[in-house]
Amino acid sequence: MTTTLLQTPFHDVHVNHGGKMVDFAGWSMPLHYGSIIDEHHQTRNSGSLFDVSHMGRFRFKGRDARRFLDFVCTRQIFGMSDGQARYSMVCNEDGGVKDDVLVYRLGESEYMMVCNASNRLKLIDHFADVRGDHVFKFTDETESTGMVAVQGPKVMELISNFSSEIPTLKRYRFTVKNLLIAKVMISRTGYTGEDGVEIILPGKFANKAVDMLMKNVGSGDDAAIKPAGLGARDSLRLEAGMALYGHEITEEIDPVSANLGFAIKFNKGDDNPEIGRFIGQDVIDRLHTEGTARRLVGLVLEGRRAARQHMDVVINGTIVGEVTSGCLSPTLGTSIAMAYVDAANADPGTTVEVDLGRQQIPATVTTLPFTA
């Protein structure tokens, strides 16, 4: 049985630029256009444009929109200001992570949420199951909109050539602009460790808007911004120590173990009934107080062989952890990985070994991120 993949508004652009298209969470997405390493360096040194339209985009609007989001999100939504975005988790009753999300406040009773493509349908079902008597309108806008990320050290300078407002945005702030009679949301957010913006816009205007952007950044080998695919996005986020759903966070992994305490409002709602507590809070508050059995750490391996997910981390023949992600870092030129290890072995400088199958490679525990 053949499954028809969903296509983003930029599908023809990817094909015309020679994108290597793959199935990613049911979407036809570009893995790369040429060399993943070249696209990685392009992002670190100048700028790249990533199609991230596969990510889920939800709108919550109505009287209880904020109250509901405070119920399902680990981060406090109460008190956000218009034009502000917050990174958060959506957890299950056991404290495991259903997804990591970005929540944007458009107004007192209107919010957007961006989630991972692989969890979009799961979250829709979850929100319906736990909605209770909260009054709001929920809309899945994923397939009617497009989303791109423009990331790199030269991005904001280039944007300043045609906008004075956007470069002044603080991190995790956004603005809504009118472009071609369409509303475009531009946020100073990203998933590469570099500065830049993410742009959400109506699908039918997506290609024209991106064409306008690309015409202002040069062309060919000298272009300041070039298209990049999922391969570079993954190596970039790994260097930046950013968690990836299905690797560093899952429904069986809590956000405390994942070092994501910054995205949790511990004891949320205890002193303000207007905020309320979130799903899974009892477990997460306890783990925060008592500590977790394992912690997420960085590993720097000897040599150039890359560690892969589920490989064992070993000390003196005893398994003390498991790799979640790994690659040969294009920026550092060495093999790096993230792994969960027993709390007793999680201090920076601890020497371990990673079991690559035929041999065990020495590695050193380090703090995250790997690159500034």
**CB 19, CB 28: distance < 8 Å:** no
CA separation for the pair 349, 346 (Å, rounded): 9
As a whole number of angstroms, the longest Cα–Cα distance in the chain is 65
- Lowest-confidence segment of 2-11, 52-61, 67-76 by average pLDDT: 2-11
CA separation for the pair 130, 368 (Å, rounded): 35
pLDDT digits (tens, 9 = 90+) for 160-202: 887 889 999 999 999 998 876 788 999 999 999 999 999 999 9
pLDDT value of position 137? 98
pLDDT value of position 27? 98
pLDDT value of position 26? 97
**Who wins on pLDDT, 1 or 17?**
17
Q: Which two three-digit tokens encode residue 132?
A: 């209770």
The DSSP secondary structure of 137-179, one letter per residue, reads EEEE-GGGEEEEEEESTTHHHHHTTT-SSGGGPPTTBEEEEEE
Helix residue spans in the chain (DSSP H): 11-16, 36-45, 65-72, 120-130, 155-159, 206-214, 230-239, 281-290
Sign of CA dihedral 237, 243, 245, 246: positive
CA separation for the pair 76, 278 (Å, rounded): 9
Q: Parallel, antiparallel, or unpaired: how do β-strands 137-140 and 110-115 relate?
A: unpaired
* Mean residue pLDDT across the chain: 94
pLDDT digits (tens, 9 = 90+) for 133-166: 999 999 999 999 999 999 999 999 988 887 889 9
**267 falls in which pLDDT band (50, 70, 90)?**
very high
pLDDT digits (tens, 9 = 90+) for 226-265: 999 999 999 999 999 999 999 999 999 999 999 999 999 9
The neighbour count for residue 305, using CB atoms within 10 Å, is 15
pLDDT value of position 75? 98
CA separation for the pair 17, 23 (Å, rounded): 18
- Please, which residues have CB within 8 angstroms of residue 102's CB and are 6 or more apart in sequence? 85, 86, 87, 88, 113, 114, 187, 189
**273 falls in which pLDDT band (50, 70, 90)?**
confident
pLDDT digits (tens, 9 = 90+) for 96-147: 999 999 999 999 999 999 999 999 999 999 999 999 999 999 999 999 999 9
**208 falls in which pLDDT band (50, 70, 90)?**
confident
Residue 218 has pLDDT above 60, yes or no: no
pLDDT value of position 214? 66
**What is this structure's pTM?**
0.95
pLDDT value of position 313? 98
